[in-house]
Amino acid sequence: MKLYVVCAVLIVSLTEAKNPGLKTRITDAGLTYASQVAIEQLSKSVKGQKIPDQSGRSGDVSYELSNIVIDSFSNPSCGITVTADGLNWKADGLGLSINGHFHYKYHGIIPISDGGNIDVSVSGVNFNVGISLGVDGTGRPKIASSGCSCSIGSVGVHFHGGAAWIYNLFKGVVEDALKKQLNGQLCTIINKAVNTDASQSLAKLKVTVDIAKMFMLDYRFIGRPAFNTGHFLETYHKGEIYWTNSMTEAPFDPPSMPQISSTTKMFYISMSDYVFNTLAYEAQIHKMLEYNLTQKDLPAKEKDFLNTTCVGTPCIGQVIPQIGKKYPNRQVTMFMSSDFSPNMSVSNGKVNVLCGGTINMLTVQGDLFLLTLNATMTASVALNVKREKIYGSISEMKLKLHVVKSNVGQISDTVLNFIANTAIIAFAEPQLNKLGAKGIPLPVTDNVHFINTEVTLNKDTLMIGTDLQYQ
């Protein structure tokens, strides 16, 4: 039993020791914004809140209050700060105005009974809520209130209609009753805002995202967030892309990512090479990186490039005359396959991709073997972020070919480079750009949008710094 516990602890600490594939940081500026958004949400849920009917007696007067509704909310000064194990949301100087109806009975020598409307102004409302943030068993974030306290500065009741001398007999009692009622009710509303509203909003966070129906991007939390008291909050995510139908781990680990040192934006996301490399790995082992290039794949102006006979426009039979001579009036298919998982790495401010593969050329008519080529492709990729998705496009692509086997004699490198640039890059670049244009969605909820977004490249890491806008 003891050994089991030791092993379990070891396993847990081993898994936690793995670097995250992706991490986020919410800065002070982000929390200030979050607090404004939270107050706006709170203001919406407070406005229109009904306060239960009240009744009481003060000396010779008994009263009843009914239809009491909070009809305005004035913003307090507020802030969210990071504590050792969560957040603290504090607001000072909140004001409320309340409307209602009153009725009283004066049980004096001459009984009087009357009623009318009341206006109540409440000022100096302060509250302080502890918020605990954690992760549930499925890697989703959890939020809960860990305690709310509230105090009410002053409550002033103004009666409309009737005789002031009677109101003065029970005004103080009404004010005290309302103060007591509000004190309890505000924390109930705030706790609900955290435990229900914020919690439901977090539950909508995309922690797994489907990509092209074949891949699954895993943004699950791999551990508790880190709380840097007074400064920021960091969350750590798996950041791995799986093959949806067989979720096995990639045989390599995420690299360590540099610290996020910038603090001017509200929110930072650091995404490591790992996210892209696990995608490339899954694509490779599931044979997604194979393609048979035929005439129909070529751009219009290169359409006839795979012909073995041509006049005017260059074709493969003209570029490699040996092919044209040996097998005239045919078309060629290039069977292309990747030999290893393409590798992406960010270094020296550039995103570099390396791919390597084999190209077999055969004639379409008769399946006659022509050539086997070895291809190595290097590319630089420009990355950018738009609408909470990250997109890539090839900014520079180089392809090196060399002959591994030939059925048509010796072929020079110049010729091969011509083929590389005419057919393969002309085909591959738009294909890869199409893929890059699909975009990888970043882990945010649907109602949060990125503004003033900046992308920075660090070692093995793509860092996105952004301000947020809540809608």
Residues engaged in binding ligand NAG (CB under 6 A): 252, 277, 290-292, 304, 307, 310, 313, 331, 335, 343, 345, 356, 374, 376, 404
Give the HSE-up count for residue 447: Cα atoms under 13 Å, Cβ half-sphere.
11
Q: How far is the CB of 414 from ligand NAG (least distance, A)?
A: 18
CB-wise, 118 or 320, nearer to ligand NAG? Answer: 320
CA atoms lying within 13 Å on the CB side of residue 438:
11
3-state secondary structure of 47: coil
CB of 302 to ligand NAG, least distance (A): 11
Residue 362 CB, shortest distance to ligand NAG, in Å, is: 9
Angle, vertex CA 181, rays to CA 176 and CA 182, nearest 5 = 100
Per DSSP, what are the bridge partners of residue 396?
380
**One-character DSSP codes across 190-244:** HHHIIIIIIHHHHHTS-SEEEETTTEEEE--B-SPPEEETTTEEEEEE--EEEET
The minimum distance between CB 345 and ligand NAG, in angstroms, equals 4
Nearest approach, Cβ of 363 to ligand NAG (angstroms)? 11
Enumerate the β-bridge partners of residue 159: 118
Q: CB-wise, 168 or 431, nearer to ligand NAG?
A: 431
Q: Are 117 and 99 in contact (CB under 8 A)?
A: yes
Sequence letter at residue 108: G
For ligand NAG, the closer CB: 106 or 305 = 305
Q: How many helices (H) and strands (E) does the chain have?
A: 9, 24
Task: Compare residues 266 and 279 and give the one whose CB is closer to ligand NAG.
Answer: 279
Helix (H, G, I), strand (E, B) or coil at 437: coil
Longest dimension (CA), the chain: 127
Residue 125 or 283: which CB sits closer to ligand NAG?
283
In the complex, the smallest distance separating the C-beta of residue 245 from ligand NAG, rounded to whole angstroms, is 18
Residue closer to ligand NAG by CB (options 141, 357) is: 357
Toward ligand NAG, which CB reaches closer, 313 or 431?
313
Torsion of CA 315, 319, 322, 325, to 10 degrees: 40
CB of 400 to ligand NAG, least distance (A): 7
Minimum distance from residue 378 beta carbon to ligand NAG (Å): 11
Closer residue to ligand NAG, CB minimum distance, 252 or 452: 252
Nearest Cα to 28, choosing from 211, 230, 283?
230
Beta carbon nearer to ligand NAG, 167 or 274: 274
Q: Compute the least distance from the CB of residue 246 to ligand NAG, in Å.
A: 19
Ordered alpha helix ranges (H), 384-445: 413-419, 425-436
Instruction: Specify which residues 128 forms β-bridges with.
Output: 90, 149
Contact 241, 216 (CB under 8 A): yes
Q: 453 or 461, CB closer to ligand NAG?
A: 461
Closest CA to 57 of 215, 210, 203, 172: 172
**How much of the chain is in helix, strand and coil states, percent to nearest 5?**
25, 45, 25
Nearest approach, Cβ of residue 460 and ligand NAG (Å): 8
